[in-house]
Every structure is written in C-alpha cells, then in structure tokens.
Amino acid sequence: MLDNYKKILVGLDGSVESTKAFDKAVATALRNDAELVIANVIDLRAFQSISAYDTVVADDTHKGAENLIRDFADDARAAGVKNIKTRVEFGSPKVMLGQTLPKEENVDLIVLGATGLSYIERIFIGSVADYIIKNAPCDVLVVRQ
C-alpha cells in the first residue's frame, strides 16, 4: 500500500473474520500513524420479529455492542494506536459501513472481514463486503486471513 492513510474505519461484528480485519486495521493504523474508527452496526432486520421494536431488547443489544467495541478499543490502545474513536449505530451494515460512516468520519480506508453472511443470505440480500467494495467513497481492504 503506497497511500498514507489518515483515518481508518474497521467494521466489527464479533466474528472471527472481523477480528482478523481488526488486527489488520490496527497494524495499518500504526504504520500510518492514523486515527482508527472502530464501528459496530446493529442490523435493524434483527428486530423485525419483535413486536413494536422492543426498546429493552434494543438497549441491551446496544450495550452489548458498546462493550464489544470498548474491548477492541482497549486492545488497539494497548497495541499503540493513539487516536481511537468508537461508533455503535443502528441501521443497515452495508449502507452504514459503506457510505454513511465513511462520509461522516471522512475516512480514507475501510477494513472489513471477507465473510459473515450465509450463502442463502448472500443470494437474497447480498454480501456486505460486496456492497461496500462497489459503493465506498474510499479504499477498501477486505481481509481473508
């Protein structure tokens, strides 16, 4: 990578693939002395079966996501990343990670894991990574290993 990245967004969902992406994002942030934005997007589709969008479930989910992101931020800080921001949002992971957050945060690199959805889900709703690659306003690094 020849570019000097200033602000890196990494999307985390707790999967093995997102953890690998996090490790790569931390290494890239350290190499570039860049700010690291660690994000978790809570997919609103997860609440479709809950009547009237139960705020207790939503609050618990949000708190769990904040704890997850805080742990990753602590790990990044321990690795030497100096400037870290965390974001926990509700919405479409595709749109939030591929367009909204990169524009709001003015990032120049998005790092994410290669997989996450099952084959059937990818057929019907498409891959988050595929969407981000096609629609992101900046460079995208998809981590496989």
| Domain edges within the chain | 7-143
The predicted model scores a pTM of 0.86
Task: Give the model confidence (pLDDT) of 13-66 as tens digits.
Answer: 888 888 999 999 999 999 999 999 999 998 877 666 555 556 667 778 888 889
Reported residue count of the chain is: 145
Please state, in angstroms and as integers, the Cα–Cα distance from residue 33 to each residue in 27, 36, 84, following that order: 10, 9, 11
From CA 13, how far away is CA 98, in angstroms rounded? 15
Is the pLDDT assigned to residue 5 strictly greater than 90?
Answer: yes
Task: Give the model confidence (pLDDT) of 52-109 as tens digits.
Answer: 556 667 778 888 889 999 999 999 999 999 999 999 998 988 999 999 999 999 999 9
Residue 135 CB contacts under 8 Å (≥ 6 apart), including other chains = 94, 98, 99
More confident residue, 5 or 119: 5
CATH topology of domain 7-143: Rossmann fold (3.40.50)
Q: Residue 100: what residue type?
A: T
